[in-house]
Amino acid sequence: MPLWTIYHPPGAYTPQQKQQFSADITGFYTRYGNLPAFYVVTVFQEIDADSFYIGGEPSAASVRIKADHIAVHTDDPDTRVRTRQILARILAPHTTDRGLYCEFHIDETPRDLWVLDGMAPPPLKSEAHQLWVQENRPVPY
Amino acid sequence: MPLWTIYHPPGAYTPQQKQQFSADITGFYTRYGNLPAFYVVTVFQEIDADSFYIGGEPSAASVRIKADHIAVHTDDPDTRVRTRQILARILAPHTTDRGLYCEFHIDETPRDLWVLDGMAPPPLKSEAHQLWVQENRPVPY
Amino acid sequence: MPLWTIYHPPGAYTPQQKQQFSADITGFYTRYGNLPAFYVVTVFQEIDADSFYIGGEPSAASVRIKADHIAVHTDDPDTRVRTRQILARILAPHTTDRGLYCEFHIDETPRDLWVLDGMAPPPLKSEAHQLWVQENRPVPY
């Protein structure tokens, strides 16, 4: 469900670091949301400093992240605060702790306009959802 | 109106296949929505497996699509189900039928914050809209 | 807050032109919104004509822009019209005046799921907000 797009400077991450980064993001959704791991897609895009501007100035040491939340939305203000705080902690070792300025924001998009391998995802808490979690792939249901 | 962003593995599509893919997407909006063809923009982006992670694992055979719907929104649940089902059928020959895992989701963004060639688009069902459909370009109105 | 993603033909802009383009966008938010300049992130992405389709046809002379508004949303219809009109005027010298077809749309995403350098942004009109404007960086508050 969540689609994470990560704009970063060329060479900021090795493939191993990108995999760990995406694994840490995935862990948030599997641990707190009981979502199937394969719902979490992370796309890294290198952006040269002369194509990456912050306040009109080129930036060679910034990471800008946009995530779409599709599977789960919440109106509860406390949960929303916790979501951004936990994600900030997960991102820190990959960004600010390494001297990379980091900004991220999350959008929430409609669950009923979402398709995986030709199927709409099963309802949360359904047996089929639990099967997708266990199998870690979309199973016809 | 719709902006389609398609993340795909390097070499997954020839230019001819990309054009057919985008033409098939365009056909959905012109046929079912009576929208001008030029409203439909499709951007393909190659993502290397070491920048494309699903559930924390690199993926070399997946297509991840995000579309923004701007011109037309509907609250009708049946129309929403049909939208995702028809689009899934349109995408299949370009993705799952070729052995490429495919996930897509659609966001809906405000129509009144949308500009083409310096102009706000004419209201649906207006004469100007019909002119834009026929001319397939933004005509001052 | 606003994240601008600009898809453009290869070679359409020199680094100097991209910097001016991003500075003009930034000026809109600092002047009309009293936002800190560093809230405005602009990412340019070159898209080859064979990956950039409008109405199913490859396009080599088009700029497609998507912006996310996070910090400030308004329901006032007049303000929304003015927003799109002023932005269209700011974009014109970089696009349509140069013979590049230009389409842009803006999404509005939740302010409470937004983090800069590990911090949620201070409320608009707060002293901390004014400090962020003056310092042009995220200051602990």
Each residue's pLDDT tens digit in chain C (141 positions)? Answer: 699 999 999 999 999 999 999 999 999 999 999 999 999 999 999 999 999 999 999 999 999 999 999 989 989 999 999 999 999 999 999 999 999 999 999 999 999 999 999 999 999 999 999 999 999 999 999
CA-based R_g, chain C, Å: 16
For chain A, where are the alpha helices, taking DSSP H only? Answer: 15-33, 77-91, 127-135
Dist. CA C27–CA B36, nearest whole Å: 33
Largest CA distance in chain C: 51
Q: How many contacts, defined by CB atoms under 8 Å, are there between B and C?
A: 105
Residue of B nearest to C68 (CA): B109
Q: Which of C54, C80, C101 sits opposite B113 (nearest CB)?
A: C80
What is the distance between the alpha carbons of residues A86 and A28, in angstroms, rounded to a whole number? 8
Contact A3 B66 (CB under 8 A): yes
The complex scores an ipTM of 0.97
**Residues 6+ away with beta carbon under 8 Å from C88:** B115, B118, C104
Q: How does DSSP classify residue C11?
A: T
Strand B62-69 relative to strand B3-8, pairing? antiparallel
| Cα distance from N-terminal residue to C-terminal residue, chain C | 18
pLDDT of residue A71: 84
Residue B107 touches partner A, C-beta closer than 8 Å: yes
Angle at C135 between CA C131 and CA C137, to 5 degrees: 100
Nearest-10 crossing angle of helices A15-33, A77-91 = 160
In the prediction, which pLDDT does C71 show?
A: 84
> Hey, CA dihedral for B50, B54, B57, B63, is it positive or negative?
negative
Cβ contact C53–B19 (<8 Å): yes
Residue B35: closest C-alpha in chain C: C55
Residue B71 has pLDDT above 90, yes or no: no
The nearest CA of chain A is from the CA of C18 a distance in Å of: 7
Closest Cα partner for B68 from A24, C110, A135, C105? C105
Q: Top-level CATH class of A3-135?
A: alpha beta
- Does residue B33 belong to the interface with chain C, where contact is any CB pair within 8 Å? no
pLDDT in tens, B9-62: 999 999 999 999 999 999 999 999 999 999 999 999 999 999 999 999 999 999
Q: Which chain C residues are within 8 Å of A7, Cβ to Cβ?
A: 43
Other C-beta atoms lying within 10 Å of the C-beta of residue C135: 11
| Chain A CB within 8 Å of residue C134 CB | no
Question: CB distance C113–A77 less than 8 Å?
Answer: no
pLDDT greater than 80 at residue B1: no
Whole-number Å distance between alpha carbons of B35 and B70: 11
**Residue numbers of A between 64 and 83 with CB closer than 8 Å to B:** 68, 70
pLDDT at C122: 97
CB distance A141 to A128 below 8 Å: yes
Query: Hey, are the CB atoms on A104 and C115 less than 8 Å from each other?
Result: yes
What was the pLDDT predicted at C137?
Answer: 97
Which of A24, A42, A70, A119 is the mutation pick for testing B, counting most B CBs within 10 A? A42
Beta carbons of C6 and C16 less than 8 angstroms apart: no
What ranges do the domains of chain A cover? 3-135
Name the closest residue on chain B to residue C64, using Cα atoms: B41
pLDDT tens by residue, B98-120: 999 999 999 999 999 999 999 99
Cα(C14)–Cα(B141) distance, integer angstroms: 34
Kindly report the backbone phi and psi dihedral angles of residue C12, in degrees, each rounded to the nearest multiple of 5, phi listed first: -65, -30
Give the residues of chain A that fall short of pLDDT 50. Answer: none
**If you classify domain B3-115 with CATH, what class do you get?**
alpha beta
